[in-house]
Structure 1
């Protein structure tokens, strides 16, 4: 099998030695080409070229969730091909690695490589669904190009937290869970829309859900991790279904304290709940429309502000080596 290893040298938990060891291990099982990324967006371009040229049968993403997202968007640049879905493998190298861990891989690059080698030897792979987000017609964001996501998207509060963390990282701060918690507090205190929500969720053949303060879209569970602890915003979300949505209609101090406690105590059987929590399961298509510009994120990557986003859950979009 011919494979391309897309490596992010700037990934949080990788080193030159680790990258060399993993490349040699993979080369023992496949005919391997190694391509380090040089800038943001490069991983997407590398994966796109590999797909269009037909030069490889497998692309391995070695990095964090951002690297994986870029590679997936490169593989699906022309959309899924039911007759031959692109094939992906992941070696976790970031600070959280939600996608890799949601697939059941160890959160350690060398250990995950061992699982990957065994899967290649035994021919283990699975087809998974993905989310697709794009511009919403009739808004100033309608020309925004479509973008795939692997595990989550967010409009509002959580995206603001992601944006704050990215700003701190650009200033030289390390990506830690403490940094995320500090940004959550800051985002809550300065959020001008927490008193009254500005988001409306619309879907075919259903009444609109209005006045959401924030909305989280999940393609799998868990939603994220705090250290080794999984956090479930939408416990029923699955790579085998379409998308799940969790929305909050109230973000007072009391309500946010309750939501935070519920998330910390969440499990595969139980997530956030209450009269101000809206939960939708296995939704194929819907839109989020905001009266004011709100921060937007995909797979932990802050993408600026949006007035509207169109979401589609696409089943069987990708093959993953696991």
Structure 2
């Protein structure tokens, strides 16, 4: 088997020595080329080259969710075709690793490498659905390039938190759960839209849902992890269905306390619920409009401000070794 290993040297939970051990373990089982990323977007370029070359059977992403997202966008540059594209494998090396853990992989990179080698020997794989976000035709965002995401996206509050965290990381701060919590509090205190939202959710053949403050788009469950605790925004979300959405139309102090507690105590059976919570399951296509530009994030990557984004759930988009 010919494989490309895409290594993010800035992965937060792996050392250079650990990465060397993992590379040697993988190389013992396959014809492996390991490439270390050198700039933002490099993993995407490597994934695209692997897909277009026709001589790579498997691409392994060693890094966090951002590295995985880049590799996926490279592999799917020309569109999904699981029978033609190289398979994807993931060795988690980030702070949260939502995609890998949602697939059932261990969060420890050494254990995950062992699980990957077992899956390769057993020829164990699955085909997963993904989300695709694009600028909405007829709006000022229509020229924005489309982008794939593996586990979640968000327009509004949570994307603002992601943007704040990225700013802190650029200043040398480590990406920790405590950092996310601090920035979430600051985003909440500085959000002028938290009582009267500006987001409109439109679906085919359905009335629009208006005045949303927060929108969480899920391609799987859980939505994220807080340490070892899974957090479920849309418990029914799955790699085998379309996209799920949780929208909140109020973020007053009381609403924050209520829905924040519900998120922290969520389970595979129940997520946030109540008067100001709007949940939608298995959507193939929908659009989020905003009256004012709002931050957008996908797989924990801040993508700037948008006023209109159209989301599509693409089933059976990618083959994953697991």
TM-score by length of 2: 0.99
Alpha-carbon distance in 1 for matches of 2:57, 2:7: 17
Q: 1:48 maps to what in 2?
A: 48
Q: Secondary structure at the match of 1:121?
A: helix
Alignment size in residue pairs = 322
Q: Deviations over 1:5-46 (max 9, x none)?
A: 000001111111111111111111111000100010000001
Task: Tell me the residue number matched to 1:26.
Answer: 26
Task: Show the counterpart of 2:310.
Answer: 310
Aligned equivalents of 1:128, 1:90: Cα separation in 2:
14
RMSD: 0.8
Question: CA separation in 1, counterparts of 2:18 and 2:204?
Answer: 49
Matches within 5 A, 1:110-129: 110-129=110-129
Aligned to 1:168: 168
State how far apart, in whole Å, the 2-side matches of 1:125 and 1:32 are. 19
1:183 corresponds in structure 2 to 183
Between the aligned partners of 2:265 and 2:103, the Cα distance in structure 1 is 22
Once the two structures are TM-superposed, the CA of residue 65 in structure 1 deviates from its matched residue by: 0.2
Unpaired segments ≥5 residues, structure 1? none
Mapped to 1, the partners of 2:259 and 2:129 lie a distance apart of 28
SS in 1 for 2:319: strand
Runs (4+) of structure 1 exceeding 6 A deviation are none
Partner residue, 1:289: 289
Q: Are positions 1:250 and 2:250 aligned together?
A: yes
CA distance in 1, matches of 2:141, 2:14: 36
Deviation at residue 85 of structure 1 after TM alignment: 4.3
- Residue 82 of structure 1 deviates from its aligned partner by 5.2
Partner residue, 2:93: 93
Contact 1:80 1:86 in 2 (8 A): no
- Within a 5 Å distance, the mapping from 1:137-176 to structure 2 comes to 137-176=137-176
1:274 aligns with 2:281: no
1:241 aligns with 2:241: yes
Which SS does the other structure have where 2:292 is aligned?
A: strand
Q: Is the 8 A contact 2:214 2:249 kept in 1?
A: yes
Q: How does 1:8-27 map to 2 (within 5 A)?
A: 8-27=8-27
Cα distance in structure 1, aligned partners of 2:203 and 2:47 = 33
Matches within 5 A, 1:68-83: 68-81=68-81, 83=83
Q: Secondary structure at the match of 2:18?
A: helix
Contact 2:50 2:86 in 1 (8 A): no
Q: Distance in 2 between matches of 1:82 and 1:67?
A: 20
2:105 aligned counterpart, secondary structure:
coil
Deviation, 1:138, is 2.2
Structure 2 runs not aligned, ≥5 long: none
**Matched-pair contact (CA < 8 Å) for 1:2–1:57:** yes
Separation in 2 of the partners of 1:137 and 1:258?
37
| 1:84 aligned partner | 84
TM-score (norm 1): 0.99
- Structure-1 separation of matches of 2:195 and 2:229: 30
